[in-house]
Amino acid sequence: APRWPALHIVTMLVIAFLLAYAAALHDQADSRQELLRLAIQVGALGGFCAVLRSIAGKLARERARLEAANRALDAERRAVARSLRSLQDLRKAIEARMLVSITDRRGRIIEANDYFCERSGYSRQDLIGMDHRILDAGVHSQDFWREMWRTIRSGTAWQGEMCCRGYNVMKG
C-alpha cells in the first residue's frame, strides 16, 4: 500500500495526460521530437516520485525511531515518579519518628523537621540559623561535640544520641 496515495494518483494523472498528448502528436509530422521530450519528462517525473518515496521511507523510519525514544522516555518518567513517591513515603516515615536537623557546613541549622521542633520545644523559626549549642545540656564532653562537628563538616550525616536541653528548660 502506498504511503502517499494522493501523490501516486497525481503522478498517474500526469502520466495519463502526457500519454494522451503524445498520442495526439503521433499523427503530426514533427511528433518524434515532441514524443522524445515527453518521454524525458515522464522519466523525470518517475525519478522525482522515486526520490519522494525514498524521502517518505526515511521520514517513516525516523518517526518510528522518535516514537520508540518517546516511549522509552515516558517509561523513564514513570520510573522517576515512582521513585520520588517512594522517597517521599520514606521521608515521611523517618520524620515521623526521628529528630532530623540539617545544617550548613558552618553548623548552622537550615532545616528541622516537625518532630525535632516538637521534642526540643523550639519553633522552626527559632532554630533556623542557630547552631546546636542552643540545645547543649552540658552532659556531653568536648570530644563528643568535636567528633560530631567533624562528621558534619566532612559532609557525612551524623547519627547518634545527644542529651539536649529544650526551650522550656532554658526559659523555665
Q: What is the pLDDT at residue 99?
A: 84
* pTM (whole model) above 0.95: no
For 18-33, the DSSP string reads: HHHHHHHHHTSTTHHH
Q: What is the pLDDT at residue 110?
A: 95
Which residues, including other chains, have CB under 8 Å from residue 6's CB and lie 6 or more apart?
Answer: none
Mean pLDDT (the chain, rounded): 79
Q: What is the pLDDT of residues 58-117, one digit of tens each?
A: 888 898 999 999 999 999 999 999 999 999 999 888 888 888 888 887 888 999 999 889
> Does the structure show a pLDDT above 50 at 170?
no
What is the C-alpha to C-alpha distance for residues 69 and 152, in angstroms, rounded to an integer? 42
Task: Write the single-letter amino acid at 9.
Answer: I
Q: Are 115 and 103 in contact (CB under 8 A)?
A: no
Q: What is the pLDDT at residue 77?
A: 96
Nearest 5 degrees, angle CA 93-CA 155-CA 128?
65
* Cell numbers found for residue 127: 532554630
Lowest-confidence region among 46-50, 113-117, 127-131? 46-50
For 76-140, the DSSP string reads: HHHHHHHHHHHHHHHHHHHHHHS--EEE-TTS-EEEE-HHHHHHH---HHHHTT--GGGGB-S-S
What is the C-alpha to C-alpha distance for residues 98 and 114, in angstroms, rounded to an integer? 10
Is pLDDT larger for residue 165 or for residue 83? 83
Lowest-confidence region among 29-38, 119-128, 155-164? 29-38
Phi, psi of 111 (to 5 degrees): -160, 145
Q: What is the pLDDT at residue 169?
A: 44
